Amino acid sequence: MFQFPRKHRQLLGLDITTSSIKLIELSMAGGHYRVESYAAEATPQNAVNEKSIVDADAVGEAIARAAKRAGAHSREVAIAISGDAAIVKVIQMPRSLRDAELEAQVELQADQYIPFPMDEVSYDFEVTGPSEKDPEAIDVLLVATRSENVEQRRAAVAAAGLTTRIIDVEPFALENSCRLMTHQMPDGGIDRSIAVVDFGASSTTFSILRNLKVVYTRDFAFGGQQLTEDIMRTYGLTIEEAGRAKKEGGLPGNYQSEVLDPFIDDMTQQVSRSLQFYLASGSGRDQPEKILICGGCANVPGVADVISSRVGIAAEKGDPLGQMKLSSRARSQGVQRDATALLTACGLALRSFD
């Protein structure tokens, strides 16, 4: 089952993608967060396919290597399923129901909202507050997914010798982590619309936050893997060689003009197109006042400036670790280098403090 956090417990935020496995551990003292441990491992080839884990043992071995290298204290994990694998509904329930009655009523009504047999589904719910639609009702957040999505992740975590405590949904984790970037938002994001673009290896998530809450999200197939493949084709390299060259440099002098600039153009077009989809998605949509560029592609030199100049909105590389202290162990594992790609992992690790 999904598990909304009930009490404080130290958790490792674990983000598994087709390209990498990232693990981060946070602590808090005096109202300030600190990165205690961090490590990343390459995802074993063919072990994850379109966000589905197909080889839990191989993924588990990589998680175990990351946990060992990080020197993580906790053995308990918060992990997420992808947004497109989840069903998320806000339903109304009578505010007079006691906890046991509420649970029974949600269970009775859940199958109205879930298009799968209930014995094939994992779900959980949380009361979010009074309903604006009915003064005698409360809003209840219902989250469900096919049980196989949950069990894949549990199996991989168990294979690493760790324990799954929280199963979240990636858009919730991203929203949670965005509070770490309020120092980069006008008025801390309060009464402001902010766009967050998280470029992954093969897919990208475009989100709009209003008052630090996600009000719009769109996933699309585009990411840093495209740049790696462009390098591979242009210079006759293997995919592994192209990946190293992208990170370490040493490419021919025409790399900027022939490969990198066209890729930045593609990034800009994706952001512009996503903004157009958002503005057309409903009435009362306003241009966001800032764009935070995240993910591995955010480290492409000058990309935020190009996006800002062409889209006409101030853009900046997002840094969820910008206000945090870092342990020497986390710093040695390159957590600052990878910071822009840690939105999901950080959002999951923050569940420790809910």
Q: Are residues 168 and 30 in the same domain?
A: yes
Query: pLDDT value at position 81?
Result: 93
Interval 181-219: pLDDT, tens: 999 999 999 999 999 999 998 899 999 999 999 999 999
Average pLDDT over residues 149-159: 96
Tell whether the model's pLDDT for residue 5 goes beyond 50. Answer: no
Task: Among 22-31, 106-115, 199-208, name the one with the lowest average pLDDT.
Answer: 106-115
Cα separation of 151 and 156, whole Å? 9
Number of domains forming the structure of the chain: 3
Is 311 domain-assigned? yes
Mind giving me the DSSP string for 322-340?
Answer: TT-EE-HHHHHTTTTTTGG
Is 88 domain-assigned? yes
Tell whether the model's pLDDT for residue 348 goes beyond 50. Answer: yes
The residues with which 78 forms a beta bridge, in sequence order, are 13, 166
Q: Helix, strand or coil for residue 228? A: helix
Q: Which pLDDT band, with edges at 50, 70 and 90, does 8 fall under?
A: low
Q: Are residues 132 and 188 in the same domain?
A: no
Amino acid sitting at position 140: V
Range list of H helices, the chain: 56-70, 99-110, 147-159, 170-178, 224-235, 239-248, 255, 261-279, 303-311, 328-332, 343-349
Is 322 domain-assigned? no
Tell whether the model's pLDDT for residue 19 goes beyond 70. Answer: yes
Cα separation of 292 and 319, whole Å? 9
Query: pLDDT value at position 127?
Result: 92
Backbone torsions φ then ψ of 56, nearest 5 degrees: -65, -35
Query: pLDDT value at position 78?
Result: 97
% of the chain residues with pLDDT over 70? 98
Query: pLDDT value at position 115?
Result: 86
Is 4 domain-assigned? no
Q: Are residues 168 and 19 in the same domain?
A: yes
Q: Are residues 35 and 172 in the same domain?
A: yes
Q: Are residues 32 and 141 in the same domain?
A: no
Short-list 300, 319, 338, CA closest to 22: 338
Q: Are residues 91 and 101 in the same domain?
A: yes
Short-list 263, 298, 274, CA closest to 195: 274
Is 3 domain-assigned? no
Is 336 domain-assigned? yes
Q: Are residues 160 and 19 in the same domain?
A: yes
| pTM of the predicted protein model | 0.91
Q: Which range of residues forms the domain containing residue 236?
A: 179-317
Q: Are residues 96 and 240 in the same domain?
A: no
Q: Are residues 248 and 230 in the same domain?
A: yes
Query: pLDDT value at position 84?
Result: 85
Average pLDDT over residues 288-312: 95
Query: pLDDT value at position 6?
Result: 46
Is 6 domain-assigned? no
Average pLDDT, the chain: 92
Backbone torsions φ then ψ of 285, nearest 5 degrees: -85, 125
CATH of the domain at 137: 3.30.1490.300
Q: Are residues 142 and 238 in the same domain?
A: no
Is 43 domain-assigned? yes
Token pair for 306: 């190009």
Q: Are residues 116 and 246 in the same domain?
A: no
Q: Are residues 313 and 203 in the same domain?
A: yes
CATH of the domain at 230: 3.30.420.40
